[in-house]
Amino acid sequence: MTKYDKEALEKFRLSGKILRESREEMKKFVREGMSAIEVCEKAESLIREKGGKPAFPCNVSINEVAAHYTSPPNDKLKIPEKAVVKVDMGVHVDGYVTDTAFTACFDSEYSSMQSAAEHALNAAIESIHGEMATSQIGLIIERTIKNRGFKPISNLTGHSVGRYLIHAGTSIPNVMQLSFAKVKAGEIYAIEPFITLPDAVGRIENSPEVTIFRLVKVKSVKNPNTKKLLKYIEKNFRTLPFAERWLKDVVPEDKHREAFKELLKCKAVMGYPVFIEISRKTVTQAEHTLLIKENGCEVLT
Ligand code: MN
Ligand code: MN
């Protein structure tokens, strides 16, 4: 008995195909000196052109920033020379989420750390199967990374995905971890090793910057602009993460800031802080979404 019926699995597969094609185009697109917002908007428009919807804003996380940076409105950030850029993208088709990431490496000094992330991901893909312990997957990822002379980021994990859910409950660690959790055949998981230098702390912390948001609860608000913004978020993103730049033109420009702040203040909307490596060392990442089978897996992305 699998969790998803045939129709749902076909939507996951379509979601994965759209994401795979978009990611491959983005690998050729990303360049040094390009503005971050151009990268985000290109990824998101590719996804839409191919018939999907972004499951979350495209993340463009540079050097020691590990994850969760997307361009805020009117972002001036540019990809610096010799940058190491994690581009993390998600698609949903009727709510069925797939998630993928690659590292664009413009400094040859980090190219073996970029490929180490791919190798760790592939090692996990080659060994994963139904009923495998998540601790065992973490061990395989950790060993692959350490064998290549690098360090896994120990407090970032992969995750099960679901309908309108990016994190559906089960975490897939990137290090050996005591846990009795197992991956189940018929369920969908994103595996995503994050890697840093051996002399780094190897953990991330929250930065004060917040660029990605999510609806928590539909609250009653009085201000008509705040109400309008909340309705728009509920209708268009449901519980999926969104970027503030996706709310452009929903309310008059001069009223937007105040209305958006009110949604955060009354906790109708929450923010995800940007994740930064504690010792400010460069981080690489690779990610695929997998459908687990009894004897292996199908890579959806
Ligand atoms: Mn991702
Ligand atoms: Mn993910």
User: Is the pLDDT score of 182 beyond 60?
Assistant: yes
Ligand number with the minimum distance to the CA of 167: 2
Q: How many angstroms does the Cα of residue 96 sit away from the middle of ligand 1?
A: 14
- Which residues have beta carbons under 5 A from ligand 2 (an ion)? 99, 190, 192
At position 299, the amino acid (one-letter code) is V
Mean pLDDT over residues 207-236, rounded?
Answer: 96
pLDDT at 289 over 90: yes
Residue pLDDT, tens place only, 124-151 = 999 999 999 999 999 999 999 999 999 9
Task: Report residue 178's pLDDT band, with 50, 70 and 90 as the boundaries.
Answer: confident
pLDDT digits 0-9 by tens, 234-243? 999 999 999 9
Q: Are 232 and 268 in contact (CB under 8 A)?
A: no
| All residues at 6 or more sequence positions from 284 whose CB lies less than 8 Å from its CB, including other chains | 84, 86, 103, 105, 110, 113, 114, 116, 117, 194, 195, 196
Query: CA-based angle 66:176:107, to the nearest 5?
Result: 30
Residue 22: name the closest of 129, 128, 99 by CA.
99
Mean pLDDT of the chain, nearest integer: 97
User: Quick one: pLDDT at residue 33?
Assistant: 98
The residue among 290, 285, 216 whose CA lies nearest residue 67 is 285
Burial of residue 88 (number of CB atoms within 10 Å: 0-12, 13-18, 19+):
buried
Specify whether the backbone of 163 is left (phi greater than 0), alpha (psi in -120 to 50) or beta. beta
Query: Is-contact 32 104, C-beta < 8 A?
Result: no
Query: What is d(CA 58, CA 92) in angstroms, rounded to the nearest whole number?
Result: 13
pLDDT per position as a tens digit, 73-92:
999 999 999 999 999 999 99
pLDDT (0 to 100) of residue 2: 55
> What was the pLDDT predicted at 47?
98
257 pLDDT tier (thresholds 50, 70, 90): very high
| DSSP 8-state symbol, 110 | G
Question: In which residue are the tokens 């185009």 written?
Answer: 25
Q: What are the pLDDT digits (tens) for 150-172?
A: 999 999 999 999 999 999 999 99
pLDDT of res. 1:
45
In this predicted structure, what is the pLDDT of residue 167? Answer: 93
Please identify, in words, the CATH class of the domain defined by 6-206+275-299. Answer: alpha beta
Reference 157, options 140, 178, 181, 174; nearest CA is 174
User: Do 237 and 269 meet the contact criterion of CB atoms below 8 Å apart?
Assistant: no
pLDDT in tens, 26-46: 999 999 999 999 999 999 999
Q: Using N-to-C axis directions, what is the helix angle for 224-237 and 253-265, rounded to 10°? A: 80
From ligand 2's centre to the CA of 44, what distance in Å? 16
Structure tokens, 242: 């969104």
What residues act catalytically?
Answer: 88, 99, 159, 167, 192, 287
Yes or no: say if 230 and 219 are a contact pair by the CB < 8 Å rule.
Answer: yes
CA of 100 to the centre of ligand 1 (A): 5
pLDDT value for 255: 95
CATH code of 211-273, in short, is 1.10.10.10
* Most distant CA atoms of the chain, gap in Å: 58
Could you tell me how far CA 48 lies from the centroid of its own chain?
Answer: 17
Q: Tell me which residues have their CB within 5 A of the ion that is ligand 1.
A: 88, 99, 101, 287
Q: What is the pLDDT of residue 265?
A: 96
In the reported structure, the alpha carbon of residue 34 is separated from the centroid of ligand 2 by a whole-number distance in angstroms of 24
- pTM beyond 0.85: yes
Residue 59 has pLDDT above 70, yes or no: yes
d(CA 280, CA 276): 7
Domain residue ranges of the chain, discontinuous segments joined by +: 6-206+275-299, 211-273
Which residue type, as a one-letter code, is found at position 193? P
Q: How many A from CA of 176 to the centre of ligand 2? A: 19
Is the confidence at residue 3, as pLDDT, over 90? no
